[in-house]
Structures are given as C-alpha cells and as structure tokens.
Amino acid sequence: MTSRRVVRLPDGTSVPALGQGVWMMGDNLRKRAAELAALRAGVSAGMTLIDTAEMYGNGRSEKLVAEAIQNTPRESLFIVSKVLPSNADRARIFRSCDDSLRNLGVFYLDLYLLHWRGGVPLSETVACMEELVKGGKIRRWGVSNFDVEDMKELWRVPDGSHCAVNQVLYHLGSRGIEYDLLPWLTEHKVPVMAYCPIAQAGELKSELYASPVLKKVAQRHQATVTQILLAFVLRSGHVIAIPRSSSAEHTTENAAADGIELTPADMEELDGAFPAPKTKTPLDIV
C-alpha cells in the first residue's frame, strides 16, 4: 500500500505526507516488540518516511529504526535524522552523521536536519551539510524549530536556500505557524514537517480529545479524533505529519487518516473551536 497523499520537496522528490516519528521510543526493552511492530505496520501501510534523531535516547531510537527496517528495501524508505546544535560544527558534524548512519544500519540519510538553533554559525553548518551531500552521506538537509527570522537569516547564508524542510511543532491546538511561518515557507516552496501533530506533547491534548466539536467532526467522517487531528495537519498539501505510535493498532489508525478530506463545514467548526492566531505568537517547541 502506498500513501495517497504526498508532499513534494524542493528538488522534486515526492515523500509520503504521513510518516512516523520515534521520539521517546527505543528506551524500554519491555516495549521493544510492540514498538517494532508499530513501525513495521506503518511501513506496510505506506508510512515509509521515518523521523529520528541522534538525541533520542542517545542513539537508541535510531537503533530501534534499524531493527524495524532491516528486511525492507532501502530505496523504498525515506529516513530522516537530526544533528544536535552542539555537534553541528566542522569538528563534530561528520562524526555525528557517521554515528547516525551506523546506528540506523544505512549508507545514507534521505534528510539530515539541524535539530534547533545553537551557537554554531549557520554558514558553518550549511557548508558542512553541503559537503555531506557531495560525499553521498545525505541526500538533502533541512532545519527544525526555525521561526521566520531564522529562515530569513538562513536564506542569506551561501547555499542556505538549499534547505529542504523545516520541522516544527504543529497541531490543531498550536496553530501559531499559520500566521507567518507557514506562509513564508509555502512561498519559498519549503514543506513543513509537523511533529506532535496529534498533540502528544502539548498541554492541549486533553482539551482536544474532549472537544465536542472534534468528536462531532470525527463522527461525521466515521473516524477517530486522532484521525481528524492528522487530517487537519495534512489538509494543505504542504505539510508532512510524523505522529509517534508505540502500537501497531494505533499506527494503523493513524494510517487511515490519509484518506480523510475535511470539508469547508468541518473547517468552519474547527476554526471556531480552535482559531488560528491573528497576531504573531512564539514558536512552540518541545
């Protein structure tokens, strides 16, 4: 099965709009079998984009992904990892990338992200990313947790406009990026990768799941609240969602959101209950 929704990257590559995240996975051996089953169920359902990071469990999440994909053809997957800001300089980034490749059991990353802004000049990090591309270690690079001013600064750096993705927190209860960041990224043809798209780490999770409006919209589509939350994030065609799931059942539920199209009436109700901000708001980060 292939994902029905895709998002086009700046270089023309199409990736599944609905992928999988592994934040806070790989740390508990008692959960490992269920987590492996969840990731494999996602791949089977077309969620072949998998996002991890060197920070997640100090490489343990990357190793979990390696085990989950060991019998899957590499070319059918889109593997994303992230480098810590403290490792994003010339002295450390190449070793970090090699460590991630070794943990993941792959020869290249499809996408390598700077996890957040740090003290290393963007020009240095970008130059190193470009070297990794030329060396075949990564296919493309991007950033995470960058707001509009960060993106504008990146665009002023040599080769900074080669950025393929900006990964930020985005869900129905956290719509701040819609005010200025999402329009800027859309104008510059840089897709958003939404982490916590079903508010796994958001304070609004209980409020979202208890919302009568969300329940009504879900019932209308014979869907779950989780599926509606994912359909909301995916609706524009410019956003990739990477929900985390530690069970095959929940992963299968997530995958089914790919076929849900929210109607104007749905959006009117959701906007009324969870309006987008009318002024600039700080970027939510977890």
Residues in the chain: 286
Task: Find out whether 115 is annotated in a ligand binding site.
Answer: yes
Q: CA 77, CA 137: separation in Å to the nearest integer?
A: 15
CA 279, 282, 283, 284 dihedral sign is negative
Where does 221-259 have alpha helices with state H? 225-234, 248-256
CA 14 vs CA 8, 40, 56, 80: distances in Å: 4, 21, 26, 14
Per the CB < 8 A criterion, the answer to whether 61 and 26 are in contact is: yes
Indicate the pairing of strand 49-51 with strand 78-83: parallel
Residue type, 184: W
Mark whether 56 is an active-site residue. Answer: yes
Crossing angle between the packed helical segments 32-44 and 60-69, to the nearest 10 degrees? 50
How far is it, in rounded angstroms, from Cα 277 to Cα 14? 30
Tokens in use for 250? 């929940």
Catalytically annotated residue among 56, 112, 170, 195: 56
Count the neighbouring beta carbons within 10 Å of the beta carbon of residue 1: 10
Contact 165, 191 (CB under 8 A): yes
Q: How far apart are CA 13 and CA 139, in angstroms?
A: 11
- Which residues carry a binding-site annotation for substrate? 115
- Which residues carry a binding-site annotation? 115
Please give the positions annotated as active site: 56
